Amino acid sequence: MTDSNSPAPDATGAIAAPPVARANFSIGDLVRHRLFDFRGVIFDVDPVFANTDEWYDAIPADIRPRKDQPFYHLLAENSDSSYVAYVSQQNLVHDESEEPIDHPAIDGMFEDFAGGRYMLRRERRH
């Protein structure tokens, strides 16, 4: 028995996987948030939302992103501090400044900054 949220099998008995959006950004890319004044470098990508419901529900409903899109883990900075951010694809744009990110975890995660992007350390690749 399947629940109403589960996809139904087709005539062959196969169950189709839900569509997954294509990631527009890659690990090492510099990005800016569309709505808030911060930028960062991507260090991980979730193909769909993979955080807690409490985190998601804390976002005001009028700006809450869809869950069925890639979400990115960023080493982020603004004018006051550096931190780790979790941001939906719809809220990111490429950062064209080509300026490095000032974050204390950069050296442990990335080995080089060239051409406006970071290269992930070999031991961090999987």
Q: Is residue 17 part of a domain?
A: no
Mean pLDDT of 78-106: 96
Domain residue limits at 38: 30-124
Q: What is the pTM of this model?
A: 0.83
Contacts of 118 (CB under 8 A, 6+ apart): 28, 30, 41, 101, 106, 109, 110, 112
The answer to the question of residue 19 being in a domain is no
Position 104 pLDDT exceeds 70? yes
Q: What pLDDT band is residue 122 in, cutting at 50, 70 and 90? A: confident
The position carrying tokens 């992007």 is: 117
Q: Return the number of other C-beta atoms located less than 10 Å from residue 46's C-beta.
A: 15
Q: How many domains would you assign to the chain?
A: 1
Which residue(s) pair with 74 in the sheet?
A: 42, 85
**Would 47 be classed as within a structural domain?**
yes
Question: What's the confidence (pLDDT) of residue 113?
Answer: 95
Dump pLDDT digits (tens) for 33-76.
999 999 999 999 999 999 999 999 999 999 999 999 999 999 99
pLDDT at 73: 98
Task: Report pLDDT for 18.
Answer: 61
